[in-house]
Amino acid sequence: MSKPKLATVWLDGCSGCHMSALDMDERWIELASLVDLVYGPLVDTKEFPENVDIVLVEGAVSSEEDLEKIQKIRKQTKTLVSLGDCAVTSNVPSMRNRFPVPVVENRSYRETAQLNQQVPREVVPRLLPKARPVHEFVKVDVFVPGCPPSADTIYYVLTELLAGRMPDLTNLTRFGA
């Protein structure tokens, strides 16, 4: 029997949740015997694969690209985990939400740029009006708050899900933890 497929995704976040996952250290060796890591910033696969069992999603949905990705991910994944405060609450990425997108772009690409002051219209994905949590766009199965959730928390979530149980995080993590 083939191993369950695990993917990780990095939307609008700082990669801190992925760093925290890396902090599982040697426990990754144990995990490697339990799952196939098929997609993510740590894997050189360009397209999100079919029939993924568990996906850890870091980051808020902030751009048109994020939205396309998360919809595809939802279709092709059994268990979608919102990993960390950006995915769960939109957190720091939401701090731009009080400003209209043109104001944000102007600030980033013109006012504070020293060279080539123009808003990119190619390659860089267009921003959505607001950065929002993942569950406002697609169904989320497991919420793991924390900024970032600790390596222990992520390990617990993965091993519980792999054992077919729903992780209970009440006492393990919280918003801002």
CB closer to other proteins, 47 vs 168: 168
Residues 98-117 that bind other proteins (CB under 8 A): 98
Does residue 128 contact residue 11 with C-beta atoms inside 8 Å?
no
State phi, psi for 7 to the nearest 5 degrees: -125, 155
Binding residue count for other proteins, defined by CB under 8 A: 25
Extract the tokens encoding 110: 């013109």
Shorter beta-carbon distance to other proteins: residue 52 or 140? 140
Q: Are 146 and 91 in contact (CB under 8 A)?
A: no
Residues within window 63-92 making contact with other proteins, judged by CB under 8 A: 82, 85, 88-92
Give the Cα separation of 11 and 70 in Å (integer).
9
Nearest distance from residue 86's CB to other proteins, in Å?
Answer: 9
Strands 52-58 vs 142-144: parallel, antiparallel or unpaired: unpaired
Question: By the criterion CB under 8 A, which residues form the site for other proteins?
Answer: 82, 85, 88-92, 94-95, 97-98, 130, 132-133, 135-136, 140, 143, 145, 147, 169-170, 174-176
